[in-house]
Amino acid sequence: MTIAGPSTIAVVLKGYPRLSETFIAQELRALEQAGLTLALYSLRHPTEDRSHPVHAEIEAPVVYLPEYLHNEPRRVFAALWRARRRSGFGRAVRAFLRDLWRDPTRNRLRRFGQACVLAEAMPENTGWLYAHFLHTPASVTRYAALIRSLPWSCSAHAKDIWTTPDWDKAEKIEEMAWLTTCTRYGWEHLRALTDHPEKVMLTYHGLDLARFPLPPQRDFDPEASGRPLRLLSVGRAVEKKGYDDLLDALALLGEGPAWHFVHIGGGERLDQLKAQAERLGLSDRITWLGPQDQTRVIEEYRKADLFVLASRIAKDGDRDGLPNVLMEAQSQALPCIATDVSAIPELIEDGVTGLLTEPGNSVALAQAIAHLLAAPAERQRLGRAGYERLLAHFSLEACIAPLKERFGLPTRPATSAVA
């Protein structure tokens, strides 16, 4: 099913804007530029004091739903009172009660309250709902779509796939018009949950290369100028990013070329990581920059000699999909070391476009880092190969074409987004 006509599409987001979700922002801007009229509905207010340049370019208005129902009781009860008169309200209540029986939590109650507010906040010319993330945002979207008797679709990413119960995912896929996900790894899992696998579409996020400068002319033998090699990682300090493994690996490097590590990102484990670095005697060789906008992140990609990401599967099943930061690093021909987990091998072929190591194996990671620190020609080769693969298979224009088609927009032939 595709969208017909000029109606508004309600886009439901977990939080907006968010520095860690550049891929969503670039998609929204591309869909606007292609002619869609969007309205954004966020379940949370922003928690960061900065945003990316692309956020300022997005024209769609943003409505913030009540993050906690008890903070806006009048708004919630007013929406519930109006929503009860809608023809689809009974269907929504029945779906909600079935879900509540299996998931008797306050979060489930909150989702239904937010859905009522969403259903009444959307203008009458809303013709479609589209959620980013298959867990909470999709639940709110589903209930609101039932209340308003409207079709809906969803984009699934990483944590939302692997921490949502299978029954919940399967029922949502059954009810929505279509689902897109950004990795073959997730695509195969989601297709296996439904009798309608044709509903599930593989659409890599891709990278808007127009927002990135051409790769710099790197000095691949910085020791000759007396400066340490610059290692960079960009990501939130959370379990699935494996930064404790990376610090352990750095502590194992021992003798060899001088190096300095730069980390960009916030996150709940940041203080723990700084304490770990202190215990390992690494503090004077690490710079913690905290969250940064895309302009500063690009500057750091261009100054770096090597990009490292030590992703792993967290204890609760959370894991990366295909981290956008790897594509961003490759856009600057920056050689990458990552782990063989989730969908990362869909972008990085070990020894060809980067190096892959076993997740959670600090010794193997240290060996890979030490190898590339001492091999400037190898860094140059891998950086160039990664850049060329990115151009061929992961540009935004190629990757967003199937999504535009689903939204009923004209597309032009492009290189396949599937590697």
pLDDT at 419: 34
CATH 3.40.50.2000 domain extents, the chain: 8-206+395-406, 212-393
What pLDDT score does 219 carry? 76
Q: Is the pTM of this model over 0.85?
A: no
**φ/ψ bin of 360: left (φ > 0), alpha (ψ from -120 to 50), beta (otherwise):** left
List, in order, residues 6 or more apart from 85 with CB less than 8 Å away.
none
Between CA 125 and CA 5 the distance in angstroms is 10
What does the block give as tokens for 369?
């880092």
SS3 content of the chain, % helix, strand, coil (to 5): 45, 15, 40
Residue 300 to residue 293: CA distance in whole angstroms: 11
Topology given in CATH for the domain delimited by 212-393: Rossmann fold (3.40.50)
Q: What is the 3-state secondary structure (H, E, C) of 181-225?
A: ECCHHHHHHHHCCCCCHHHEEECCCCECHHHCCCCCCCCCCHHHH
CA pseudo-torsion sign 255, 256, 259, 265: negative
pLDDT in tens, 165-206: 999 999 999 999 999 998 899 999 999 999 999 999 998 888
Q: Whose structure tokens read 């900065």?
A: 50
pLDDT value at residue 302 = 97
Task: Choose among 98, 117, 225: nearest CA to 171.
Answer: 98
The SS3 of residue 412 is coil
- Give residue 418's pLDDT: 36
| Residue 289 near residue 257, CB atoms below 8 Å | no
Ranges of residues in the chain with a pLDDT under 50 are: 3-5, 413-419
**What's 8-206+395-406's CATH class?**
alpha beta
Please, which residues have CB within 8 angstroms of residue 146's CB and are 6 or more apart in sequence?
Answer: 88, 91, 92, 95
Listed as own residue / partner, the contacts of 81-90 with beta carbons closer than 8 Å and 24 or more positions apart are 82/120, 83/116, 83/119, 83/120, 83/147, 86/119, 86/147, 86/148, 86/149, 87/149, 88/146, 88/147, 88/148, 88/149, 89/147
pLDDT score recorded for residue 223: 60
Cβ-based neighbours of 375, under 8 Å, separated by 6 or more: none
